[in-house]
Structure 1
């Protein structure tokens, strides 16, 4: 390939990367969240020191916290599913089919409970009805992380669902670039879907959100 063409391709890649890092990524890192929610400490923040990066995302739900919590507490591979793109989860080896109703037998979690059959997702902390913190099990290597979920009442009939992810991994490792790309892009796709699914299930309007066959970024 001629040198000029290589330089054109390289310049295009640099340009696209610059736009992503300076415009798109900052927006996705705080999708839906207010500055107050970004600045507010969350349960589980103390579990990962010096995270590689932090995302805080949120959505308003037209339902009370006590009506949202049952959908969160029943999450899991062998429970109510993860309310994201089930097809992608299954391709990753997680056997799920997200439930469209509250499952009474899965309305309790304790610290240390596993949310997947391999024990890779563990309940690190929980405040019933208010907050849930999920992190990797002991078998997961090369990364520590917390996924903190919190419910904040908004008036008497609405809720703010806030989600924060704080991963820490070695940026100098051979896997760092791949891991960063997977987490950066994969996380926003899956988490945005999850926020909308929890919202629509709690509101009883889940049919209105696009089907799992068409992941998009907004």
Structure 2
């Protein structure tokens, strides 16, 4: 069975995995599996893989674009800019953004992975009216026991920017219209220290 992916058709195994006759893996296969995992991890941290991950979906122009909120953390240690085209108008996308957060609409990512990391995240599959009023100064928790994020910019259907209360992380969501669709640019600006730089 195959499922449609972003990059075309990719075969995915469906159903239970079956053991090969003999039923036991040998030390040789375990060693090869461990070596493959180590090689995959090393490749993931290689400069080309890191750049791909930090700029996934974004054009060179979007990566270099100055966004509202960049000034909130002008000299980050880590900068990522990702983008996606959504087949809907900004007015349709905006309500999903303003309800994001732990105990709210979730993060719209892989809940199973976030919960494996102890983040207790549950992404909504509908608009939640009780979380539609978001204003500058409001605090939103992105995950339990993490620094809260303060809303710094809230321009409906255009820009939503958060800054962590410890000043080490800025998260920006910027919407633009591209043809009849919405281009969502997501930018993270982080510093590794615990104190905000001046």
TM-score w.r.t. structure 1 length? 0.62
Q: Confirm or deny: 8 A CA contact 1:33 1:56 kept in the other structure.
A: yes
Equivalent residue runs for 1:37-76 within 5 Å: 37-76=62-101
- After superposition, the CA RMSD in angstroms is 2.6
- Report the Cα distance in structure 1 between the residues aligned to 2:118 and 2:46, rounded to whole angstroms: 30
* 1:124 matched residue in structure 2: 152
Q: CA deviation at 1:137?
A: 2.0
* 1:23 matched residue in structure 2: 48
- Report the Cα distance in structure 2 between the residues aligned to 1:132 and 1:90, rounded to whole angstroms: 25
2:162 partner SS: strand
Q: Confirm or deny: 8 A CA contact 1:134 1:147 kept in the other structure.
A: yes
Q: CA deviation at 1:131?
A: 0.8
Q: CA deviation at 1:24?
A: 0.8
Q: Deviations over 1:169-218 (max 9, x none)?
A: 24xx9xxxxxxxxxxxxxxxxxxxxxxxxxxxxxxxxxxxxxxxxxxxxx
* 1:149 matched residue in structure 2: 173
TM-score w.r.t. structure 2 length? 0.68
Q: CA deviation at 1:72?
A: 0.6
- Unaligned runs of at least 5 residues, structure 1: 1-12, 174-218
- Report the Cα distance in structure 1 between the residues aligned to 2:133 and 2:43, rounded to whole angstroms: 45
How many residue pairs match? The answer is 154
- Report the Cα distance in structure 1 between the residues aligned to 2:127 and 2:40, rounded to whole angstroms: 47
Query: Higher relative contact order by CA 8 Å / sep ≥ 6: 1 or 2?
Result: 1
The structure with the largest strand share of the pair is 2
Specify which of 91, 114, 120 is matched with residue 95 of structure 1. Answer: 120
Q: Confirm or deny: 8 A CA contact 1:78 1:115 kept in the other structure.
A: no
Q: Confirm or deny: 8 A CA contact 2:172 2:186 kept in the other structure.
A: yes
* 2:15 matched residue in structure 1: none
1:39–1:96 distance in 2 versus 1, CA, 3 Å: same
- Report the Cα distance in structure 2 between the residues aligned to 1:162 and 1:38, rounded to whole angstroms: 9
- Report the Cα distance in structure 2 between the residues aligned to 1:78 and 1:15, rounded to whole angstroms: 34
- Report the Cα distance in structure 2 between the residues aligned to 1:130 and 1:48, rounded to whole angstroms: 20
* 1:81 matched residue in structure 2: 106
* 1:108 matched residue in structure 2: 133
* 1:169 matched residue in structure 2: 192
